[in-house]
Amino acid sequence: MDAGRDRNMQVPGIRIPAEWEAHACCWMAWTADPDWKDHAESLKIELASVVQRIAQFEPVRLLTSTNQMSDARARFGGGNVEIIEAPVDDIWMRDIAPTFACRGSEVVAIDWNFNG
């Protein structure tokens, strides 16, 4: 299928809200891929800063790999960050999570089946 057509494809009754529209929370991921080696800790420091800043303004739901749960709890315990154990291996939610959309008043998830 042509990429231009994909971008403009519309499914009747389904609407993807604009990023500035009101929403219940921000979904993020917390993990450190072993491939990052020496950069993992600096990445975590930067990502933690982003998570904490967003949490000042809205709830954050932080999907966290099993092996990172204690680290996430230590960094984000309490406050406006809900830590959710999930089998994540990437921080790019665009690549690993669904897009939330609306069908009338119902929230639906679109699974893009990212193959990156």
Q: Are 84 and 27 in contact (CB under 8 A)?
A: no
In the chain, where the domains are located = 23-110
Choose among 35, 25, 8: nearest CA to 91.
35
Residue-wise pLDDT for 11-34, tens only, equals: 678 999 998 888 889 999 998 767
Confidence band of 9 (pLDDT split at 50, 70, 90): low
Residue 97 DSSP label: S
For residue 4, what pLDDT band results from cuts at 50, 70 and 90?
A: very low
pLDDT digits (tens, 9 = 90+) for 50-100: 999 999 999 999 999 998 999 999 999 878 999 999 998 888 887 788 888
